[in-house]
Amino acid sequence: MKLTKAEQQVMEIIWQQGEVFMKDIAEAFPEPRPAPSTLATLLKRMQDKGFVGYKVFGNSRQYHALVNKEKYFSKEVKSMIKGAFDNSALSFASFFTTATKLSVKELEQLRDMIDEELKKKSK
């Protein structure tokens, strides 16, 4: 299941803060903040999709993530590679390194990450 852009913004706040009340989510948004009814609708949809759960404290709900951020984005990237790059991680990497205009320092860091993965896989 995929998050909309608005849902992803809410999830980012939940992932960063851990357990949050709706007022905490609203306060984390820049001005103009979404209306409480908008946040309630987003949170309900996210519950229905299985992304968030909550605990009840009186009349309030404290929300928490049910989906790990890294696992969610890993699945999203794999889906994008499958759909847009004919399931070729190499094609994606080629596109990524040229289209994003990485700096020399960033390319060197990427090379170091690749070298580290090569060491792990050659053992």
Residues 12 and 50 in one domain: yes
pLDDT band at residue 92 under the 50/70/90 scheme = confident
Report d(CA 109, CA 5) in Å as an integer. Answer: 29
User: 10 CB contacts (<8 Å, ≥6 apart)?
Assistant: 25, 39, 42, 43, 46
Q: What average pLDDT does this structure show over 19-34? A: 93
Residues 47 and 83 in one domain: no
Q: Using the 8-state DSSP alphabet, how is residue 80 labeled?
A: H
Residues 78 and 60 in one domain: no
Number of domains in the chain: 2
Specify the pLDDT at position 91: 87
Residues 102 and 79 in one domain: yes
User: 65 CB contacts (<8 Å, ≥6 apart)?
Assistant: 11, 14, 15, 18, 51, 52
> How do residues 55-83 score in pLDDT, each as one tens digit?
999 999 999 999 999 998 888 888 888 88
Q: Which of 21, 43, 65 is the last residue of a domain?
A: 65
Note down the domain range covering 112: 69-121
Specify the pLDDT at position 39: 96
> Domain with 29 in it: what CATH number?
1.10.10.10
> How do residues 29-47 score in pLDDT, each as one tens digit?
989 999 999 999 999 999 9
